[in-house]
Amino acid sequence: MDEYAVPVLPSRDLAETLAFYTHLGFEPHGDPPERHRYLMVTRGAVELHFWHHPEVDPLSTAASCYVRVRDADALHRAWSSAGVPAEAETGSRLVPPADTDYGMREFSLVDRSGNLLRIGSPLPVP
């Protein structure tokens, strides 16, 4: 993964958020979330920061972040293989890649707090 845009996102439950992103290959940094109201996870050069907000509506997108990667298809396959934890109650899901009219191949991940991560890579040059 390469870069991010808006990295500070709300989380209803920091321990649950940590478990969700650790499952997808992110690593926690700093103190355990039970010691404060803030959490940082990284994967490659991408840092995602979460803050505790118990009233986040899990059925709507609370916040969004755009991540640019080298190969959106490969990352989508990896996360599909890992099995994105999905729950009907919270609506966490992984949406398949699609090509945009502005030259990107993008997919999205909605986590258990309703945060939307849009992930994209430039379309291959024919």
pLDDT tens digits along 60-95: 777 888 999 999 999 999 999 998 887 777 788 999
Residue 6: pLDDT over 60: no
| Structure confidence at residue 125 as a pLDDT band (50, 70, 90) | confident
How far apart CA 22 and CA 28 sit, in angstroms, is 7
pLDDT of residue 123: 93
Q: Coil, helix or strand for 15? A: helix
User: Which among 48, 44, 41 is positioned nearest to 5, based on CA atoms?
Assistant: 48
